[in-house]
Amino acid sequence: MLRTTAVNVIRHLGVVGECNIQYALNPFSKEYCIIEVNARLSRSSALASKATGYPLAFVAAKLGLNIPLNEISNSVTKVTCACFEPSLDYVVVKMPRWDLNKFDRVSKALSSSMKSVGEVMAIGRTFEETIQKAIRAIDPSLAGFAAKDSYAVIDDELTNPSDQR
């Protein structure tokens, strides 16, 4: 469903090269909306290349030179051409890493401004496994979702986001 929508949007916009589309999806109703469309290479592109083994920047550059997909060899597999989509049986999560203690006079409150000092990428078979790996990769001392905070503490963390939640 989302793949078909992505292909339709890209064709409608006439995009040639790399493009990523970010969605908001209601998993119960399958209702979705498009949050943004980026017809360029971005930091998300680097994650997608790492996660899939598909060399997006390389392929986008070749497309920009008017070389068709079926004439571009996949520089990772060395076997297939670039028109073959990656087939994945795993989940990938990218999670920001904050270390705001390193900076003087920086508020620990999170907002729409970028404050992360890096990110981690985790791979697993399920979303639950993958997000747990990402949390522990951020800081091995974190318990992840095993924490037993009260609902009041959880509500406060959700209401007042910080680098420690």
Residue 80, domain member (yes or no): no
Query: Are the beta carbons of 149 and 142 closer than 8 angstroms?
Result: no
Range of the domain at 127: 91-159
Residue 83, domain member (yes or no): no
pTM of the entire structure?
0.67
Is residue 67 scored above 80 in pLDDT? yes
Q: What is the mean pLDDT of residues 127-140?
A: 89
Domain count for the chain, please give it. 2
Query: CA-based angle 93:97:100, to the nearest 5?
Result: 160
Query: Are the beta carbons of 63 and 57 closer than 8 angstroms?
Result: no
| Same-domain pairing of 18 and 59 | yes
Tens-place pLDDT, residues 110-133 = 777 777 778 889 999 999 899 999
| Same-domain pairing of 100 and 60 | no
Query: Are the beta carbons of 114 and 155 closer than 8 angstroms?
Result: no
Residue 78, domain member (yes or no): no
Please give the pLDDT value at position 112. Answer: 75
| Same-domain pairing of 11 and 40 | yes
N- to C-terminal Cα distance for the chain?
33
Give the pLDDT band of residue 14 (cuts 50, 70, 90).
very high
What whole-number distance in Å separates Cα of residue 45 and Cα of residue 75? 16
| Same-domain pairing of 67 and 103 | no
